[in-house]
Amino acid sequence: MSSEPSSSNQLPNQPTDINAARKFAVPNRLAGKVAIVTGASSGIGQAIAIRLAAEGAKVVIDYIGRAEGAEDTSQAIAQAGGTATIVQADVTKLEDIEKLVAETYNRFGRGDILVNNAGVEKGADFWEVTEADYDLVMNVNLKGAFFLSQAFVRRLIAAKQPGRIINISSVHEDMVFPHFASYAASKGGLRMLMRNLAVELGPHNIAVNNVAPGAIITPINKSLLDNKQQLQALLNNIPLGRMGTSAEVAGLVAYLASEEAGYVTGSTFILDGGLIRNYHEQ
Ligand code: BGC
């Protein structure tokens, strides 16, 4: 999916750029915590895993297809002085979800923070969308977050431990995305899932929030980044006039994972350069 350079060949804005992860990291803010990050072998998930580790969390790097990407994440975390382990688990499969949580407890003895980041999108005119593409998008983006959250909180509730769930949603949990109907539907579902869980899990001291990125420089946007005309049209819609970086998303996630955010639950935090509020004068 991506042609990212490895951590030995750093470019600015790469998710494995440990300097970007360290720049605003609050040392030890997440010390003693264990975080699971799904889809942590590339893009936003990779940057989140590295940032949480740079703040002292032990991180479980979940991936499905890109073992070398997971290794890059793990190496960047080691370079930043952090601790991580890699688990291959497909979030669309309940047995893999069980394995991911069990491995987290086997290797680190606890689980405090879950970042449901794994996501896919498939563009097509609505009338052309196949069942296979629909199933893939809904299963990764919504079913995965649903059942992994369930497996994660079962342990917390049984042990009477607090926890945090942070879903990486999208501006498209609220804003239309023509030609990406399944993606917008999955993210809209993630928005209501977050709100529902915030209410159900609040009494168990488990907070649930969404981070909704706009256009971020990541592999999911590769075809857009390669198409100058399409890219310019997008930039024209972003009041800040640029795409965001995965490090910027990771910074917000680190805050939501921290004790400082202890009273925050049931909210979506938009990080989009103003895209969702955009209006052009007629
Ligand atoms: C999508 C990108 C898109 C961005 C802004 C994201 O959720 O993954 O493909 O460019 O939203 O529309």
Local confidence pLDDT in tens for the 282 residues of the chain: 333 434 434 445 789 998 989 999 999 999 999 999 999 999 999 999 999 999 999 999 999 999 999 999 999 999 999 999 999 999 999 999 999 999 999 999 999 999 999 999 999 999 999 999 999 999 999 999 999 999 999 999 999 999 999 999 999 999 999 999 999 999 999 999 999 999 999 999 999 999 999 999 998 888 899 999 999 999 999 999 999 999 999 999 999 999 999 999 999 999 999 999 987 776
Kindly give the distance from the C-alpha atom of residue 221 to the centroid of ligand 1, in angstroms, as a whole number. Answer: 7
Which atom of ligand 1 sits closest to the CA of residue 172? 7
Give residue 282's pLDDT. 66
The fold for domain 29-271 equals Rossmann fold (3.40.50)
Using the mean position of ligand 1's atoms as its centre, give its distance from the Cα of residue 214 in Å: 6
Residue nearest to atom 2 of ligand 1 (CA): 215
Q: Measuring from each residue's beta carbon to the nearest atom of ligand 1, which residues come in under 6 Å?
A: 121, 170-172, 214-215, 220-221, 224
Spacing, Cα 108 to ligand 1 middle (Å): 34
Domain ranges for the chain:
29-271
Query: What's the sign of the alpha-carbon dihedral 19, 253, 34, 95?
Result: negative
pLDDT score recorded for residue 120: 97
Identify which of 121, 169, 249 to mutate to test ligand 1's pocket (most ligand atoms within 8 A of the CB): 121
Task: Say what the pLDDT of residue 46 is.
Answer: 97
The confidence score (pLDDT) of residue 221 equals 87
CA of 170 to the centre of ligand 1 (A): 7
Span from the CA of 119 to the centroid of ligand 1 (angstroms): 11
Could you list the active site residues?
Answer: 183
The DSSP line for the chain is: ---PPPTTS--TT-TT-HHHHHHT--TTTTTT-EEEETTTTSHHHHHHHHHHHHTT-EEEEEESS-HHHHHHHHHHHHHTT-EEEEEE--TTSHHHHHHHHHHHHHHHS---EEEE---------GGG--HHHHHHHHIIIIIHHHHHHHHHHHHHHHHT--EEEEEE--GGGTS--TT-HHHHHHHHHHHHHHHHHHHHHGGGTEEEEEEEE-SBSSGGGHHHHT-HHHHHHHHHT-TT-S-B-HHHHHHHHHHHHSGGGTT--S-EEEESTTGGG-----
**What is the pLDDT at residue 99?**
98
Confidence at residue 10, expressed as pLDDT on a 0 to 100 scale = 44
How much is the pLDDT for 280?
76
